[in-house]
Amino acid sequence: MTRISRRALLASALPLVAAPVFAQDRYPSRPINLIVPFAPGGSTDLLARLMRQYATRHLGQDIVVFNKPGAGATLGWNDVVTAAPDGYTLGAVTSSAAIRPVYGDTRFNYITALEPIAWVSTIPQVLAVRAEAPWKTIDDLVRYARDNPGKFTYGHSGVGNSSHVAMEALALKAGVKWLPVPYNSGSQVLSALLGGQIDATVATPVEFSSHLAAGKIRVLAVFDEKRFDAPLFRDIPTFAEKGWPIDSLSWNGVAAPKGLPPAIRKHLVDGFRAIAAEPEFVASATKAGLAITYAGPEAFGAKWKSDQETFLKQATDTGILQLVKSQK
């Protein structure tokens, strides 16, 4: 029998010990799942698929987009919260992740249950009426609402959502009273507007762009401090310009389960920062009506927290918070 020296045995064993450590440190070694808690076709889904085009270049692996709608987006976000913090499950988060916990009907407060990675896009909500409506400006609309209390109607896709709260916050500031009409989805609201069942609604430019370009609707004002810099919207005034400063912004970002290893967190933060800086990505998003407003995890977390506090105040001041709680 051939004798093997102790040194040779140790040398031959080293690769067996080192190999698992190397494999463990290699990230990412497989595609990264990005949970989008909405159906395909919306602005969040669109942004996720645009980011995917640059994932291999800047993250080192492909992104697989999983659409998991339901329960006002909380089904998907809950899956992200409870996923292993290994960098292979991420979530596409929106401003609704700040809004929904305000009403106390979610399993988690997502600002504390998730790890912010990147704030990618921000888009303001806008107020629209049908193109043939008699109100040519937001001043015309507010004047009509003041003269006809409770007659002007607007649609929203759920009691307590951002469009509902934005319109009631505007009513407080402008001194008007109008009639909210709830629907089950944004598409139903838009159909009701185009069909003449309601006078107005609030949504993002992404949802209104094709109808605005086709001359079917008229956008009267933007819920932001500054005008929205997109070709179809640049000349539309803000509510702040009219003396009614109300922000109702819809943002999109990326978050991960809490407890990511620092090296994996840094890899993701650096990768999404690079994706957001890609000129072609910015151009494609802008063309679709999404403004790229990248910020890193600290600024994103601060924005998330600030928006939740702002929304809580608006929902309280308008009485909507009490209304929602009374319906439980």
DSSP three-state, residue 300:
helix
Q: Is residue 115 a contact partner of residue 83, using CB atoms and an 8 Å limit?
A: no
| Sheet of strand 114-124, all strands in order from the earlier edge strand to the far edge | 63-67, 32-36, 89-94, 249-257, 114-124, 291-295
Interacting residues of 87 by C-beta distance below 8 A, sequence separation 6+: 27, 28, 32, 256, 260, 261, 264, 265, 267, 268
Q: Locate tokens 């292979």: which residue? A: 88
| Sheet of strand 200-203, all strands in order from the earlier edge strand to the far edge | 179-182, 153-156, 200-203, 126-130, 217-222
pTM over 0.85: no
Write phi, then psi, for 40 (nearest 5 degrees). Answer: -60, 150
| Number of H-type helices and E-type strands within the chain | 14, 11
Token code pair at residue 178: 């109008």
Q: In whole angstroms, what is the distance from residue 222 CA to residue 247 CA?
A: 9
Q: In whole angstroms, what is the distance from residue 326 CA to residue 328 CA?
A: 6
C-alpha closest to that of 55 among 258, 262, 281, 266:
281
From first to last of its 328 residues, the chain has per-residue pLDDT tens of 434 444 443 344 444 443 333 345 689 999 999 999 988 888 899 999 999 999 999 999 999 999 999 888 999 999 999 999 999 999 999 999 999 999 998 999 999 999 999 999 998 999 999 999 999 999 999 999 999 999 999 999 889 999 999 999 999 999 999 999 999 888 899 999 999 999 999 998 888 989 999 999 999 999 999 999 888 899 999 999 999 999 888 899 999 999 999 999 999 999 999 999 999 999 999 888 888 999 999 999 999 999 999 999 999 999 999 999 898 7
Q: Judge if the upstream peptide bond of residue 28 is cis by omega within 30 degrees of 0.
A: yes
Characterize 14-24 residue by residue with b for buried, 16 or more Cβ atoms within 10 angstroms of its Cβ, and e for exposed.
eeeeeeeeeee
**Answer CATH for 29-122+249-317 from 3.90.226.10, 3.40.190.150, 3.40.50.2000, 3.90.1150.10:** 3.40.190.150
Q: In whole angstroms, what is the distance from residue 47 CA to residue 278 CA?
A: 13
Q: Locate tokens 């916990």: which residue? A: 101
Q: In whole angstroms, what is the distance from residue 81 CA to residue 87 CA?
A: 12
Q: In the beta sheet, which residues pair with residue 256?
A: 115
Please provide the DSSP assignment of 200-233 as one string: EEEE-HHHHHHHHHTTSEEEEEESSSS---STTT
**Answer CATH for 126-247 from 3.90.550.10, 3.40.190.10, 3.30.70.890, 3.40.190.100:** 3.40.190.10
Q: What's the pLDDT score for residue 6?
A: 42
Sequence spans of domains, the chain: 29-122+249-317, 126-247
Q: Residue length, the chain?
A: 328
Q: What's the pLDDT score for residue 295?
A: 97
C-alpha closest to that of 50 among 296, 272, 231, 298:
272
